[in-house]
Structure 1
Amino acid sequence: MDEVEVVVAHTERVTLRVGDVFLKVDSDQARVDVEVEAMSLAPVPTPEILRRKPPVLAIAALPAATLGRLGGPSTGSSAAWAAIRKLHDAPLPPRTGRAGRSGVALAAEFDAECQLLVTDGLLPADLVTHNRQVAEAALRPWSPAFTHGDLQIAHVFVDGDEVTGIIDWSEAGRGDALYDLATFTLGHEKHLADVLAGYGTGSRIDLEVIRGWWSLRSLLAVRWLIEHGFDPFAPGCEVDVLRSRM
């Protein structure tokens, strides 16, 4: 009999693996609806949906292995990193996703979070202040694209030069493509050149915006991660990303 493996668990959702099947338990039906819709529209391989009966979504495991994880080693060829370009070539989806949040609302949330990080003593003031300045580059107008919204390398499966599948689409929708690229390369800056190669020499990708998203995303994540049992202070993770900007 296959064992039940807890892949991730927190108060918002739980993902279990039983053999070749992943079971995602999510109390937010709207989030599941977004995920299912996004997988049907995505121009890249996605898991097969085996069963959908709220609050559980059952999907098939993907072949090969992930590109890696934040704080750990990364794998995959340069071509595999560059292949993520296909995602942003897709027609615009109907919904706005996490990467498309209102700039005004995001800036207000970001300001409040930075104050809490210092007030609660989670991060030193100089680290927050400097990264807050770096993050300003990300808060600018952008052209909408099809975005994943949580494009961590742990969500991308590859086999050699080929992306065999991308998982966890609950934050997908219209958004800033550079947010996806920043999430994808967070903590793995050495692969940024490989990713940009997928866009060609004629592309105009502002590296300061990507660096801004690294700082903004990391600052917004620290307190949430701690409250949900994760460790942003682990080597190579969010706090190290913030320190690398100093």
Structure 2
Amino acid sequence: MAEPVRILCVDDERNVLRSLERLFLDDGYDIRTALSGAEGLLALGQLDTVQVVISDYRMPGMNGVEFLSEVRKNWPDTVRIILSGYADTGAIVSAINDGQIYKFIAKPWNEDEIRVAVTNAVERYNLGRENRTLAAELRAKNDELTALNRDLEARVEERTAALTTQNRLLTESLNILDNLPFAVVGMSLDGTVFQCNRKGMVCFGNRIGPVIGADRREVLTAAQNRLVDRVIDESRRSSNGNASGEEGNHRVVIERSPYTSECVILIVNEEAVRG
């Protein structure tokens, strides 16, 4: 249900208030009245929403500018209109320039002028409310985006730290592998060599050249290839795909790896390679 458009009219003369009520009778507004600025402030405090306030300038106790200044302080979204005779124009123009008043309408007013002024005031109020709603939504979206960016940055930092640790451990592992006193060769099931430590590079490379990427049938001896073939056959019969075998100083291990589906690891001492 749409919010009713509520207009508060403030004037110390009852006949002026009745004239304003009659003027807006057919416009569907919820018209409220008050006989003084103090009474008007009390009414505003009791009402949920008042879109427009129309106040006379000359009133005892609190004049219209003073009253509308209080309205601005406490209900800044309410649009403020003042009615007065030409003699008060200077004071009212000053108030308008200070931003306290939206529009000045001279008495006696033109009915079309005041109705148009109120229509524009209501539109101004609605636009202001829409702008505030959009601004709030934008702030919420910006806050959400900021939170997402912080989360993303944290995830990136966490992932970077994890990768740094993994790279460090991998480097350390490769250093350990390279410093082993025996040759270690890693290869895929189809026979492509993808890893070889320093001892293996020296031993096998002296015979056939580059080892990484070579076919193991060209790198290994016939006896080593037979052992690898035998262990591969055993792994195919194994329920988990893992298998191992030894022959003299040669050892072959097949196990699942997080980097490849399966790999073959051949461990052999230098004497066996040379032999």
Q: Give the TM bin, normalised by the shorter chain.
A: under 0.3
**Relative contact order, higher structure (CA 8 A, sep 6+):** 1
TM-score by length of 2: 0.17
